[in-house]
Amino acid sequence: MSTVTETRETEQATRKTEGRTGKSGARKRGRITDENGRRMPVWEIVLRYLLLLAVLALMIGPFLWQLSTSLKGPHENIFSSPPEFLPGSPTLHNYERVADTIPVWDYALNSLKVAAANVVTNCVGATLAGYALARLRYRGRRAATIVFILAMLVPVEGIIIAQFTTMRELGLNNTLIGVLLPGCISALNVLLMRNAFLNLPYEIEEAAYVDGANVWQRFLRIALPAVKGTLAVVAIFAFMGAWDDFLWPLIVLSDPDRFTLTIGLNYLHGTFANDERLVAAGTVIAVLPLIVLFGCLQRYFFRGVGEGAVKG
């Protein structure tokens, strides 16, 4: 039951207005009630669970089918009708084969490098810039804020060709640095951090200022620890964004040795489209790390949706 309350708290954190916080207290253990504390009729509970299970099959089923396909051996019929949902004799053979076909572990490492670097640069860059926009007084602060707002509004899909040209002028096309750079400090993240800092009470920092703390000390000791939650959101979405990105790496990377996992999968699909077991194994390798990450940190994933949507 504690997980339920936890989600409720997360929702309330994403909400702009506080209020009606006491309603969870009306709920009693071991009895199914609606939000008014009334007992739900049995037929409604049954109907709800049936619908939930139907949607569950629709949302998770395709992943499980992919997993099942990847575990089926070469002599098993994957095309049978009616379909066989479970592999007769599960094998990891396809995972070995995918590693023989494309350097899938190198691709995974490339993706990991870009994603990890993207987390660091976004966290550091967005926090610093967000703090400057929210807390520091200087000429041009409004202009700087407007620059980030404008940048956030630019549709990335429309500027990829020019980004690629820029990257070529810098000699960084076909490198992982080139994959990383355009999104390494995203304007949305800067503005998210700015809002987080703006929501902190100013008095504490003022007190520290009176006590003689310089700007770095105020930033590192007082402001930064107070925005850890938003920082976690930025970190997670930076990781997910880089790990999942497709269009930009597709354009900037041309050398198969330097592919990231998504581009590698596209390559695998393009070259070995008829080997479904192989492609299935590749997709499972690509998706598993993120599902694990999501399982561990789902609170922040949900929180990020609220913050990103409201401000974006």
Partner 1 sequence: MKSSSAVTAPRTAATASRAVTDGPRKRIRRQLPSSPWLFAAPGLLIVGIFILYPFVSTLINSFTDKRTLIPGEFVGLDNFRELLHDDMFWIGLRNSTLYILGVVPALVLLPLLLAMLVQKHIPGITFFRSAFYTPVVASIVVVGLIWVWMLDERGLVNAVLEAVGVGSVGFLSDQWLLLLSAMTVTVWKGLGYYMIIYLAALANVPRELHEAAAVDGAGAVRRFLTVTVPAVRSTMVLVAALSSVAAFKVFSEVYLMAGPNGGPAGEDTTLVMLVQRVGTGLTGRVGYASAISVVVFVVTVALMLLVLRADRKEDA
**Measured from the CB of residue 218, what is the shortest distance to partner 1 in angstroms?**
9
Per CB under 8 A, does 26 bind partner 1? no
- Of 88-96, 97-105, 119-127, 195-203, the segment contacting partner 1 by CB under 8 A is 119-127
Q: According to CB under 8 A, which residues from 61 to 80 bind partner 1?
A: 62-63, 65-66, 69, 79-80
User: What distance in Å separates the CA atoms of residue 104 and residue 90, rounded to the nearest whole number?
Assistant: 21
In degrees to the nearest 10, what's the CA dihedral of 129, 133, 134, 138?
A: 120
Binding-site member from 28, 41, 56, 120 for partner 1 (CB under 8 A): 56
Per CB under 8 A, does 55 bind partner 1? yes
Per CB under 8 A, does 162 bind partner 1? yes
Nearer to partner 1, 71 or 129 (CB): 129
> In sequence order, what are the beta bridge partners of 39?
33
> In sequence order, what are the beta bridge partners of 33?
39
Nearer to partner 1, 92 or 150 (CB): 150
Q: According to CB under 8 A, which residues from 84 to 103 bind partner 1?
A: none
Binding-site member from 22, 43, 75, 82 for partner 1 (CB under 8 A): 82
**Measured from the CB of residue 249, what is the shortest distance to partner 1 in angstroms?**
10
Q: According to CB under 8 A, which residues from 172 to 231 bind partner 1?
A: 181-182, 184-185, 187, 190, 204, 207-208, 211-217, 219-222, 224-225
Binding-site member from 93, 97, 113, 269 for partner 1 (CB under 8 A): 269
- Of 87-95, 96-104, 195-203, 279-287, the segment contacting partner 1 by CB under 8 A is 279-287
Q: Are 6 and 298 in contact (CB under 8 A)?
A: no
Closest by alpha carbon to 278, among 97, 78, 89? 97
Half-sphere exposure of 14 (CA within 13 A, CB side): 19
- Of 86-94, 95-103, 112-120, 298-306, the segment contacting partner 1 by CB under 8 A is 298-306
Query: H/E element holding 168?
Result: helix 160-169
Residue whose tokens read 């804020």: 145
Q: Report the Cα–Cα distance between both ends of the chain, in Å, rounded.
A: 33
DSSP calls for 226-243: HTHHHHHHHHHHHHHHHH
- Of 86-94, 102-110, 195-203, 286-294, the segment contacting partner 1 by CB under 8 A is 286-294
Q: According to CB under 8 A, which residues from 136 to 155 bind partner 1?
A: 136-138, 141, 144, 147-148, 150-151, 154-155
Residue whose tokens read 């390798």: 285
**Measured from the CB of residue 181, what is the shortest distance to partner 1 in angstroms?**
6
- Of 87-95, 101-109, 195-203, 244-252, the segment contacting partner 1 by CB under 8 A is 244-252
Binding-site member from 91, 101, 174, 298 for partner 1 (CB under 8 A): 298
Cα dist from 157 to 162, 163, 286, whole Å: 10, 10, 23
Q: Are 69 and 78 in contact (CB under 8 A)?
A: yes
Rg from Cα positions in the chain: 24
DSSP 3-state of 282? helix
Closest by alpha carbon to 290, among 37, 63, 44? 63
Binding-site member from 176, 240, 253, 281 for partner 1 (CB under 8 A): 240
